[in-house]
């Protein structure tokens, strides 16, 4: 979560139990009063200084590993830095079919990895974690639901294997926005869900059936700065630095208030907009200086291009009620 205010909404005001993908976010949230933070990216030794600082200041800070080399390095660095009465909490990442990260739940070496963490005096095995990121790349809700069921079955099955081997598994976590928005028929055996994109949603989630257009809570506002009838285009003052370069094949998102238009291309600071059906643009409807609203293809990438979120009083107004600072860096 990149803003304190959004994190407060996500945690119901508790300021606890939140997942981050950068150590900058973890420090940002800790400075804002958050505790019980999970850093859900495989840990490497170069990050240990920051990890130890967060471990010392928070009641509960948890890291993730998914490979024996990471565990070996971690255990070699902990003596003298961690007290036995406050061991470092560790979750083990599990591959549920995404194949980006996570250990192989069918490989006996994954059980041994958990056994090593469990036996170590300076670590506390906090659970197993998975992320079905491949659910972003499917065509329909039925396929998302099938992936969600597989996500559940893989992680719950691995937890069962560990428990059968006499190893404790305090928590079983799943989470991607598509699979949490369209969950399987049951979540028996799952303790936690860790979606992130659902806070804003976006055009991708709309296409996956995770949300409606009205559920998309973020817009990138841009002005029309040029008319070019010969090429049937409008020029806008928003390029990929304002909305990200993702989703070109899908128009970089959509234009909810002007669906007859589509973004044909985004340059660095400017974008080219044309008609969605190829018909001649009625330029009188889009005067130079007027606004267009972009519902981004991927809200995480688009908002990260900016330093602040301007929260509107209502969806129909342009009155800014709050300004949220976005965490930057890694």
Domains, the chain, ordered by start = 4-198 (3.20.20.10), 213-325 (2.40.37.20)
Confidence grade of residue 1 (pLDDT, cut at 50, 70, 90): confident
User: Band of the pLDDT at 316, cuts 50, 70, 90?
Assistant: confident
Beta-strand ranges (E) seen in the chain are: 18-20, 37-42, 61-65, 88-94, 123-130, 172-174, 192-193, 220-228, 233-236, 253-254, 261-266, 271-275, 291-296, 308-312, 320-325
**Residue-wise pLDDT tens digits, 10-27:** 999 999 999 999 999 999
Tens digits of residue pLDDT in 131-143: 999 999 999 999 9
Q: What is the pLDDT of residue 318?
A: 81
Q: What is the pTM of this model?
A: 0.94
pLDDT at position 221: 96
Tens-place pLDDT, residues 100-155: 999 999 999 999 999 999 999 999 999 999 999 999 999 999 999 999 999 999 99
């Amino acid at each position: 979560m990149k803003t304190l205010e959004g994190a407060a909404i996500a945690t119901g005001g508790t300021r606890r139990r939140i997942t981050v993908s950068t150590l900058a976010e973890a420090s940002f949230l800790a400075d804002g009063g958050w505790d019980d933070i999970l850093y859900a990216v495989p840990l490497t030794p170069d990050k240990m200084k920051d990890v130890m600082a967060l471990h010392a200041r928070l009641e509960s800070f948890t890291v993730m590993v998914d490979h024996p080399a990471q565990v070996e390095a971690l255990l070699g660095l902990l003596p003298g830095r961690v007290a036995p009465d406050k061991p470092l909490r560790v979750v083990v990442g599990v591959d549920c079919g995404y194949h980006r990260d996570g250990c192989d739940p069918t490989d006996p070496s994954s059980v041994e990895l958990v056994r090593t963490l469990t036996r170590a005096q300076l670590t506390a095995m906090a659970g197993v974690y998975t992320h079905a990121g491949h659910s972003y790349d499917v065509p329909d809700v039925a396929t998302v639901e099938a992936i969600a069921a597989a996500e559940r079955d893989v992680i719950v099955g691995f937890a069962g294997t560990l428990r059968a081997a006499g190893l404790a598994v305090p928590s079983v976590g799943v989470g991607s926005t598509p699979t949490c928005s369209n969950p399987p028929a049951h979540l028996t055996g799952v303790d936690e869900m860790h979606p992130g994109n659902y806070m804003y949603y976006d055009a991708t989630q709309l296409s996956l059936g995770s949300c409606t257009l009205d559920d998309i809570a973020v817009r990138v506002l841009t002005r029309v700065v040029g008319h070019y009838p010969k090429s049937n285009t409008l020029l806008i003052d928003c390029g990929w630095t304002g909305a990200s370069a993702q989703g070109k094949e899908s128009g970089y998102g959509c234009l909810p208030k002007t669906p007859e238009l589509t973004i044909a291309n985004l340059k660095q600071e400017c974008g080219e907009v044309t008609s969605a059906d190829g018909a001649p643009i009625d330029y009188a409807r889009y005067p130079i200086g007027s606004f267009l609203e972009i519902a981004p293809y991927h809200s995480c990438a688009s908002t990260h291009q900016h330093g602040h979120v301007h929260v509107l009083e209502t969806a129909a107004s342009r009155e800014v009620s709050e300004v949220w600072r976005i965490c930057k860096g890694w």
